[in-house]
Structure 1
Amino acid sequence: MLRLVMPQVVTILVDVLAWGAFHALTGYAAHRLGNERLARDGWLLRQRPFEDNGRWYRRRLHIHRWKDRLPEAGALFAGGISKRELPAGDVAGLELFARETRRAELAHWWAMACGPVFVLWNPPLAAALLITYGVVVNLPFIVTQRYNRFRIDALLGRLAR
């Protein structure tokens, strides 16, 4: 495989800048998604049987103990919405919150998917570490968005009944 070779200091600088750019670009791309595209879960976002309406994350990962310590950048772009708290307690507010968790989850999946690009200019060990970094940094956010959305979806289901 052809690999771009740069001095080590340049490679490290490119790595740092690339991760920053990937997160910014995927966040902006998710921000630009239309609300109609985020109205329901697609294949990637849908709940899996083991998740049990988010209870698996609480039992196994103790997510309720650490999720609020994660940084929140939902309002970073103009018109964005923070997910620190519900925008409103009514059905419309809950649906908006669920939509924003989909947006955030997609942004983190997309950022994590950029990891393999690092094999183009890094030696194998460094590329593996950078891909691992992408997973370690993005997975807690993905898990948190899923946990919150499944809880909101369960609440919306109860309200509908």
Structure 2
Amino acid sequence: MMGDFTVAGAAVNVACWVVSGILIGWLFARRRWESFESPGPITTLRRCETRERYERFLRVRAWKDLLPEAGTWFGGITKRRLPTYAEGGLRRFAAESLRAERVHFTYAATIVGTLVWMRGWWVIVTLGFGFVVNVPCIVVARYNRLRIAHLA
């Protein structure tokens, strides 16, 4: 046994990741988009965050379109284009970006929660998965909000 790895443990972990990801997305999609117009203490954009820093240091424009768009999975709207005025326009886009950010923060917390029963190198795999799946999406959501902050 390498680092307490078992096929059963891996299966439980992967099942938790899949089920929690779908459940979190579904639950957040059930809320009206207007409920995501105000950021909280974690999701508030900071003064040090600028569009230019995201573009220059994180090169977000080079890779953001490579990420999957799951905003439409449960009846939401895509963030690949701006919503029409009838759909809520820039206010809706900012709210949907904040919704995506909160979904990924919540999903990251759920993934970290699976560490309760994981041991050995599987902990590294779990943390790596949580980082790779969530951080790029959070970065893009924050970048999108920065891009439209001066327009709204």
Q: Normalising by the residue count of structure 2, what TM-score does the alignment of the two structures yield?
A: 0.88
Number of positions where the alignment pairs a residue of Structure 1 with one of Structure 2: 149
1:90 offset after TM fit, Å?
Answer: 8.7
Asked whether 1:29 is paired with 2:19, we answer no
Structure 2 unaligned regions, length at least 5? none
> Which of the residues 49, 52, 63 maps onto 1:66?
63
C-alpha displacement of 1:139 = 0.3
- Coordinate RMSD, CA, aligned: 2.0
1:50 alignment partner in structure 2: 48
Rounded to whole Å, the distance in 1 between the matches of 2:126 and 2:7 is 15
1:58 deviates by 0.5
| Identity across matched positions, percent | 36
Larger helix proportion, structure 1 or 2?
1
Q: Structure 2 counterpart of 1:148, which letter?
A: N
- Structure 1: gaps of 5 or more residues: 1-5, 157-161
Secondary structure of the corresponding residue to residue 42 of structure 2: coil
Q: Residues 100 and 11 of structure 1: is their aligned pair in 2 closer, same or farther, counting only changes over 3 Å? A: same
**Offset of residue 91 of structure 1:** 10
1:106 alignment counterpart: 102
CA distance in 2, matches of 1:120, 1:49: 36
Number of the residue aligned with 2:15: 17
Query: For residues 91 and 18 of structure 1, do their structure 2 counterparts lie closer, same or farther at Cα, with a shift above 3 Å needed?
Result: closer
Per the alignment, residue 115 of structure 1 pairs with 111
Q: Against the structure 1 CA distance between its residues 121 and 65, is the aligned structure 2 distance closer, same or farther, given a 3 Å change threshold?
A: same
